[in-house]
Structure 1
Amino acid sequence: MSAGGVPDGGRYGEAFFRPEQAGEDERIDFGALAYNDFTMARLRAIGAGPGWRCLDVGAGTGTVSCRLIEEAGVESVLAVDRDVRFLAERSVPGLDVLEADVTAPDFVSGPFQLVHARFVLMHLPERARVVRALTDLVTPGGVLVLSDAVDLTSDRAPDTPYTAVMRAMWQGLRTTIGTDVDWVPSYPQVLRGVGLESVAAEIHVPPLLPGSALSRFWADTWERSRAAMVATGLVDDAAIDAAARYLGSGECAALSAGMLTAWGRKPGEGGG
């Protein structure tokens, strides 16, 4: 572990999942396709719509940002990421793009009726401080929505080529870039702890089907994090290759990582 709590392997986008790596935008989109409909249904259910000013943190390729504008009809979305090369390709009225680090003080000015962060906090150090900073950006009556992965490959899960490799992936990423999904189930308590009200949460587990976007996402993710996975000693290259073949077969019988979404409303008048 280096100074400042960042693992020796660096942060997300440095040691692994580098934006400049060929096909990284496609990998991100494969993951987005598996979860976007569920995310959009939740954001619309909490009220995101006309007149709302929204912040999308760690916006990636901008799929959620664009759908907030095009489908929910929000007034504007500020899409923020540490690297905006994929966002820069988007040209949607009402979409603004900002290259910034969410862990930096005052990385953006608020307020926003909706602050949304998906698959971001699990990769960051000082997560509790970042949640407080995001809460400060929410206008009274507005909503903070956090989504991250939950690991369903516990020791009691059936042993399959998929579960063995997923366990190695989570351990390898935690060691190298600090990814930590163990904290994710506490999100409802975290949101209550920063003073939000009407806190609730739900989990979505998309199916693992041969040739599906999610199966392709995991296969690509394993390939990019292969060195970290092998270094755990839990798997070798042959096991990773076998798991990729298992995903593409009709015999795959495993639960994908779920996505836990938690949300809470800031006390006061305003919002949508």
Structure 2
Amino acid sequence: MYEDLLPHTLPTEAERLDRMAHAHDPDTFATIERLNLPKNAHCLDIGAGRGSVAIWLAQTLPGSDVIASDLDLSSVKKNTLSNLSLKKIDLRCDDLGSEVYDLVHCRAVLCFLPTRTEVLSAILKSLKPGGAFVATEMDFRQIASGPSRFWAMFWTAYLEFAASQGWDLEFGAALPGILAKSGFTEIDARHIQPILNHSGNTAGAAETETWSLTLATLAPQLIGGGFMTKGMLTDALSIIRNPEAWTTGPGFMVTSARRPVG
């Protein structure tokens, strides 16, 4: 499982999660702001990581009740927010309740679950009528076709590794249609294709650092499993870490939807 390969106990994991938050939080926050949540919203953040989204929700909506959940909550940043609580939730088997939340959020969670489609029914059930679901999921459809032959070969090899783990890194592209079939309405989706550049303090630089740390951590599995050579991974990391390179990175889909009213 994903949490076995990238556990929160790794020395570099807190930094990797912080970089991921820096890269993706702006799009997540903008999406949630468009939903006009009630001031006393009851919110659940699934796979909270360092807790950046849950903390932002609790600060932005001081009258709200926010739950940050994860399989391992040790990485959530310390805070004194009285409206933020922690709860261990395993989306694969735990009951989320019925008509509890005004918002359920997750990022890079569903694509790693073997029951990624089935859990959407539980999420839908947990929402109040009119409640919103926001998810950011990987969408690798374009990265494996360019911008160079080497880049395509490298990410195709990574996708083969992901498939061997049971991950679906193209799930973001399918998610809007699956949400519609699952009973969600008001579905809105935006594909984001970041440009990787390892300089400055931008979201793109944070995304670059996220992938640099992710690939370096997964090197034993990528190389030892025969998915790529050490030279291929070294060359890819040299591109990602080059401050003078501007290279298309893996994409992701930011999707929002609601439980129908009535």
TM-score, normalized by the shorter chain, greater than 0.5: yes
User: What is the correspondence of 1:1-272 to structure 2 with a 5 Å cutoff?
Assistant: 11-14=1-4, 16-73=5-62, 75-87=64-76, 89-107=78-96, 111-159=100-148, 162-176=151-165, 178-211=166-199, 212-231=205-224, 233-268=226-261
RMSD (CA atoms): 2.1
Aligned mates of 2:132, 2:20 — CA distance in 1? 24
Change in CA separation of 1:240 and 1:72 when aligned onto 2, cut-off 3 Å: farther
Aligned mates of 1:198, 1:31 — CA distance in 2? 27
Q: Which amino acid aligns with 2:121?
A: R
The two structures have a TM-score, normalised by structure 1, of: 0.86
Change in CA separation of 1:207 and 1:250 when aligned onto 2, cut-off 3 Å: same
Q: Is the 8 A contact 2:144 2:155 kept in 1?
A: no
Q: Which amino acid aligns with 1:262?
A: T
The two structures have a TM-score, normalised by structure 2, of: 0.90
Aligned equivalent of 1:7 = none
Unaligned runs of 5+ in 1: 1-10
Q: Which amino acid aligns with 2:239?
A: Y
Q: Deviations over 1:228-247 (max 9, x none)?
A: 32245452112212221212
Change in CA separation of 1:253 and 1:88 when aligned onto 2, cut-off 3 Å: closer
Q: Is the 8 A contact 1:80 1:98 kept in 2?
A: yes
Unaligned runs of 5+ in 2: 200-204
Superposition deviation, residue 121 in structure 1: 0.2
- Worse-superposed segment, 126-135 or 67-76: 67-76
Describe the SS at the equivalent of 1:117. Answer: strand
Aligned mates of 2:6, 2:258 — CA distance in 1? 33
Describe the SS at the equivalent of 1:217. Answer: helix
Q: Which amino acid aligns with 1:44?
A: E
Q: Is the 8 A contact 1:55 1:115 kept in 2?
A: yes
Change in CA separation of 1:156 and 1:100 when aligned onto 2, cut-off 3 Å: closer
Runs of 4+ in 1 over 6 A off after TM superposition: none
Aligned equivalent of 1:3 = none
